[in-house]
Structure 1
Amino acid sequence: MNTQKYYISICFFLVLLIAIPITGFGQSELGNYLEEAAENNPGLKAKFNDYLAALERAPQVKALPDPQVAFAYFIKPIETRMGPQEFKFSVSQMFPWFGTLKAKENSAIQAAKGKYEAFEEAKAKLFHEVRSNYYNLYFNKKAIAISMENIDILQSFKKMAEIKLEAGLVSALDGYRIEIEMGDLENQLALLKDKQFVLEVMFNNLLNTESKSEILIPDDLWQTDLTLSKEALLDSIQRNNHQLLSLNFQQQALAFRKEVAKKAGNPNINIGLDYIVTGKGDMNLAGTDAFVFPKIGLTIPLYRNKYKAMIKEVVYLETAKALEKDDKSNILESLFEKGWKDYRDGDRRIYLFRSQLELAQKALHLLETNYASGNKNFEEVLRMERKLLKYNLELEKAKADKQAAISFISYLMGN
């Protein structure tokens, strides 16, 4: 396997593929926001730089130890037959036991792959946060519009009540009730507008942008469904979740680290040569340089307890990592069940509140007609108007919650 090809899976400036269907205005705009977040979010950039740093570890650990070069000057030259020895140059190179450097490299490579999966996990989490915030922005914007529509409805009721009051058909009580309802709605509307500003700030911070341009949100949120069965979704999470994949690579890194620990108990080989400079001897012989080659040495690993402890350390770490993976798998299954419950609940609520909203609209129309024709039960009109407001808001909330649940399950699957 060419490990370099594995690593060059992301270009220098985070060109990221976003696996979301682009079928309409809203989804297309959301896709653009996801791309912007991927390019600009500082937390994601931090994870990417952690990955790049891990890539630089493999070239370090696979390299041989630095060669040793020594120079010796004999203060009192050693007399030999060829002349006095004046200088000595020594060069030596240590070679770890066969396969040690490769095992170290493989361990670093697997650790880097684990960092890459941590980056992918951060990217998937960021995308889910962007999508969730987008759905919150949609709901809050719709809540503002619905509240304003209901204020307009109350304004029309107020005019109707004023006409009936002038005709002596009703008391001033109807007008007071409308004023109370309008005051509550106007207060709620002010709160929603303040909340919209906060949500926009949060959304722009995820994108790491100071742009004051309007966030483009569709008038009606698209409706998508999960295409896989519950069992297939859970299986996909167990196979593709980036946290689990990262733990897999960490386990593989520990397996190579254990191999390194085992090989550390073998001798290291030292090979070198000496170059000696001799001067002019008493017999007026010209100095002759002499080579002493080869020079071979071994490190003898006598203290075995140290190497046994190194192996045991990795064995304990492998056990801990396996348990951590099992725990993470259980946590992900629990999170999926919650997401699946939210998805189904959102689907049911959409069906329910769409039906309730239609009935409330019909009922309000009949009550309004009856009131205009002389029926004095204005309290029932206001009660139905409140139900209309509630069902309108609940329907839009259900739409947003369902898409948020789909986004969360997609995040668990690594998307």
Structure 2
Amino acid sequence: MLRFTKIVSKRDAIFFMLFLLTIGPSLFGQSDLEGYLKFAAENNPGLRAKFNDYLAAMEKVPQVGALPDPTVAFGYFIQPVETRVGPQEWRFNLAQSFPWFGLLGAKEDVATELANAKYEDFENTKANLFFEVKTAYYNYYFIEKAIEITEENMEILNIFKRLSLVKIEAGNASVVDELRVELELNDLENQLALFRDTKYVLQVKFNNLLNTDEQAPITVPATLWQDELPEGQLNILDEIYASNHQLKAIEHRLNAFVNQEEVATKEGLPKFNIGLSYTIVGENDMSTAVDNGNDAFVFPSVGISIPLYRKKYKAMVKEAEYLQEGEILRREDKKNDLTTIYENTSKDFNDGDRRIALNKKQSEIAKKVLDILITSYSTDAKDFEEVLRIERQLLKYELSYQRALADKNAAVAFIYYLLGN
């Protein structure tokens, strides 16, 4: 009986220490997580690739806003053309084309909006990376707690086993009691092995998100804090519509296609050409003109390109209109998806909140029942099977409590991702 008194006292001491540790380390744990998020943002290769996509898209703006390259032509007269002032021997032509007014600016607007859409894709990838890091962190916390709780329960079962052996030797219990404990221990050993394998997998996943050494240790708090939904927002769903990066990217693409329609319209307007001509003239020995042998320079020569084939330009305008309509429909579809996802995540958050309260309450009740059953078994060797059953339930409630903490925080993290944070 004295042994069981020590067991219960040890368990209570462990829970008391865990309670004390929640006062400070929760903030410490959050600080660690913030550090991991910062490290991931700086080192994750997928995120850096997205940012390079944005930078590359920005380089498109000066390309489309530049004038067409000038054309230079050189001509040599195989048979010089005789003129009053001498034979024409060589000719150089330089021409520059100018599009309709505002066309280049409209093209720049298209490229800028598409680049802004790429930036929103980058921001969405960053928000998703933060969500994945947070979720991996919470799952790693849970698996560490699962290992700790399972090892603690195995230690208690081993003490039960030693007590049953003492009672069997005294003739106050059946050998079946020992065998039942063996069954429970075997199940827990198998579960513990799975937890440890899972811990390694989660460690690798977490460190890969940070693009660091797979074996790097992960610091988690003794007890996970509880995140809550953002405050000060009357309607989170409206905030999601306003700040979600996927919706913002769609808006930028829509603006790009509006400008693309303007580009298509102006592409169908005339273009202007300005050029100069320089002709090298040889001397005419028979000419007495004062400008004999002087080169001929003509500037400017002005031309206009008239787009006569209208079918192509009408198709370009129609293409832009279809693309606009597609983005409008895509925006509506994305809003519907976000509404469904938000409501489902909100349900997960509320479920996590309920499970935290339920499993905490159930654990407290199970501990009291277990104490009573332990005392009963110590005095008359009865209800040993019930002792094991309640111990099993207590293990389940303790694990479910930790799982609920991780799930609730993961739900909050996903809502922050939907908000673009």
Q: Which range, TM-score by smaller chain? A: over 0.9
1:163 shift after superposition: 1.5
In the alignment, does 2:70 pair up with 1:67? yes
Letter of the 1:248 partner, please give it: E
Query: Residue 314 of structure 1 corresponds to which residue in structure 2?
Result: 320
CA distance in 2, matches of 1:29, 1:71: 70
What is the identity, as a one-letter code, of the residue corresponding to 1:121? N
Return 276-285 or 154-163, whichever deviates more.
Answer: 276-285
Q: Which amino acid aligns with 2:209?
A: L
Q: Note if 1:262 corresponds to 2:265.
A: yes
- Structure 2 counterpart of 1:316, which letter? Y
5 Å-filtered alignment, 1:143-292, equals 143-210=146-213, 212-228=215-231, 232-283=235-286, 286-292=292-298
Q: Which runs of structure 2 are paired with 1:31-50 in the superposition (5 Å)?
A: 31-50=34-53
Where 1:24 maps in the other structure, the secondary structure is helix
Partner of 2:361: 355
> Which residue of structure 1 aligns with residue 415 of structure 2?
409
Q: How far 1:40 sits from its partner (Å)? A: 1.4
* Segments ≥4 residues shifted beyond 4 Å: none
Report if the CA contact (8 A) 2:268-2:313 is conserved. Answer: yes
Q: What amino acid is aligned across from residue 418 of structure 2 in structure 1?
A: L
TM-aligned CA deviation for residue 227 of structure 1: 3.3
Q: Hey, what's the Cα distance between the residues in 2 that align with 1:211 and 1:356? A: 38
Residue number in structure 2 paired with 1:368: 374
- Per-residue CA distance 1:66-92 (angstroms, 9 max, x = gap): 011111111111111111111111111
Give the TM-score of the pair, scaled to structure 1.
0.93
Cα-to-partner distance string for 1:339-374 (whole Å, 9 max, x where unaligned)? 100000000110111000000011101110111011
Do the aligned partners of residues 334 and 231 (structure 1) sit closer, same or farther apart at CA in structure 2, a change above 3 Å counting?
Answer: farther
| Structure-1 separation of matches of 2:126 and 2:411 | 18
Q: Residue type matched to 1:310 in 2? A: M
**2:337: which partner in 1?**
331
Q: Secondary structure at the match of 1:163?
A: helix
SS at match of 1:60: helix
- Aligned-pair CA distance for 1:228: 3.3
Which one of the candidate residues 122, 125, 128 is aligned to 2:125?
122
Question: Partner letter of residue 327 of structure 2?
Answer: K
What letter matches 2:385 in structure 1? E
Partner of 2:58: 55
1:283, distance to aligned residue in structure 2 (A):
2.2
CA distance in 2, matches of 1:178, 1:65: 85
Looking at structure 1, the residues matched to 181 and 244 of structure 2 have their Cα atoms a distance apart, in angstroms, of 54
Report whether the alignment pairs 1:131 with 2:134. Answer: yes
In structure 2, what is the Cα distance between the partners aligned to 1:281 and 1:23? 99
Q: What is aligned with 2:4?
A: none
DSSP 3-state at the match of 1:295:
strand
Structure 1 residues 167 and 211 mapped into 2: Cα distance closer, same or farther (>3 Å)?
same
* Matched residue SS, 1:318: helix
The unaligned stretches of length 5 or more in structure 2 are: 1-24
Shift of the 66–23 alpha-carbon distance from structure 1 to 2, 3 Å rule, reads farther
**How far apart, CA to CA, are the structure 2 residues paired with 1:55 and 1:294?**
36
The aligned residue for residue 377 of structure 1 is 383
Decide whether aligned partners of structure 1 residues 79 and 23 sit closer, same or farther in structure 2, where only a CA change above 3 A counts.
farther
Q: Measure the CA separation in 2 of the matches of 1:295 and 1:63.
A: 22
Contact map agreement 2:26 2:224 (CA 8 A) in 1: no
Unpaired runs of 5+ residues, structure 1, are: 1-21
Letter of the 1:233 partner, please give it: I
Aligned-partner Cα distance in 2 for 1:67–1:127? 49
